[in-house]
């Protein structure tokens, strides 16, 4: 859609989508964006994280109006998003998981909110599952107490008004490009998990707020690009969790987490069939993660 003079006065948005072995979800995501096009200048950058089966080439051939970046190595979710951001020309960056679907122009209200709130460094929409049910996509910064509390409380109800929070999920988050570059982007030492909370914490420490617009809703299919039963997923989660605690949490939290994980996986090592997974995670506890 050609930009009108009114659109040209608005901030341009760079929509960045990472693809890894999930081209069919990426195509569905792009189709939903084109079916509900943003009413402002924008570009779509797809970063293929070294997928197999020629997915990058297929996406390039199929999505001629999008910029497709093919990486030669999969260095993780944050690294791929940084690669997309480094090629972006927009004033705002919308990081969007490839397994999300939009049902309206979600870009414009998010961008408008950031423009109208100078203290806002990043904003996220509400997420829902495919059946329309609530999906938790934000929270307090990870700590032993906060993670325990989140597990006990489970899904929470929606707040009807925009509000400031600690972090929003990297599945859908809009960040000022200037702020993103100021804080150094995503920490590429996380392969996956916790990179969004890490980014939000650094943005918050730089004096900006992390906000959420619950009236803007996306569907997130939820990790469909990965096999959620894959033991590597659980390994990477614990590895990233330990890194986040090493960077930001005080000694009692760091020690408490390691003690909890040690006893948890010692028991699994004795009783459960996945002994190799338990052994690998126990090995993480004796490594530095800073």
Q: What is the pLDDT of residues 53-106, one digit of tens each?
A: 899 999 999 999 999 999 999 999 999 999 999 999 999 999 999 999 999 999
Q: Of 174, 189, 220, which one is at a domain's C-terminal end?
A: 220
Confidence of residue 160 (pLDDT cuts 50, 70, 90): low
Q: Is residue 289 part of a domain?
A: no
- The proportion of the chain whose per-residue pLDDT surpasses 70, expressed as a percent, equals 90
- Number of folded domains in the chain? 2
Residues 263, 177: one domain? no
Q: 244-253: long-range contacts (C-beta < 8 A, 24 or more apart)?
A: 244/142, 244/190, 244/194, 244/197, 244/198, 245/142, 245/289, 246/288, 246/289, 246/290, 247/198, 247/290, 248/141, 248/198, 248/201, 249/142, 249/143, 249/144, 253/143, 253/144
Q: Is residue 252 part of a domain?
A: yes
Residues 62, 96: one domain? yes
Residues 235, 170: one domain? no
Residues 206, 237: one domain? no
Q: Is residue 290 part of a domain?
A: no
Q: Determine the structural domain holding residue 262 and report its residue range.
A: 231-284
- Residue 101 belongs to domain with CATH number: 3.90.550.10
């Amino acid at each position: 859609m050609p930009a009108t003079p009114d659109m040209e006065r608005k901030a341009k948005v760079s929509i960045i989508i990472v693809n890894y072995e999930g081209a069919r979800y990426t195509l569905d995501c792009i189709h939903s964006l084109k079916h509900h096009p943003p009413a402002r200048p924008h570009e779509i950058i797809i970063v293929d994280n070294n997928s197999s089966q020629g997915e990058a080439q297929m996406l390039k051939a199929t999505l001629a109006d999008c910029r497709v970046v093919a990486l030669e190595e999969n260095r993780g979710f944050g690294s791929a998003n940084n690669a997309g951001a480094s090629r972006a020309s927009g004033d705002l960056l919308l990081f969007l998981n490839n397994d999300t679907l939009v049902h309206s122009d979600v870009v414009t209200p998010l961008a408008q909110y950031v423009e109208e709130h100078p203290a806002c460094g990043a904003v996220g929409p509400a997420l829902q599952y495919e059946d329309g049910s609530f999906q938790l996509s934000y929270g307090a910064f990870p700590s032993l107490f906060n993670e325990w509390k989140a597990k006990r409380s489970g899904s929470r109800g929606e707040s009807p008004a925009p509000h400031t929070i600690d972090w929003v999920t990297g599945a859908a988050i809009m960040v000022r490009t200037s702020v993103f570059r100021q804080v150094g982007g995503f920490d590429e030492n996380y392969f996956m998990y916790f990179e969004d909370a890490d980014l939000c914490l650094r943005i918050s420490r730089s004096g900006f707020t992390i906000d959420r617009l619950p009236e803007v809703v996306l569907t997130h299919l939820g990790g469909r690009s990965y096999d959620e039963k894959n033991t590597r997923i659980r390994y990477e989660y614990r590895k990233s969790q330990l890194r986040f605690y090493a960077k930001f949490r005080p000694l009692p939290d760091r020690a408490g987490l390691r003690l909890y994980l040690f006893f948890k996986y010692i028991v699994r090592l004795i009783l459960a069939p996945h002994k190799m997974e338990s052994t690998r995670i126990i090995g993480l506890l004796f490594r530095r993660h800073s």
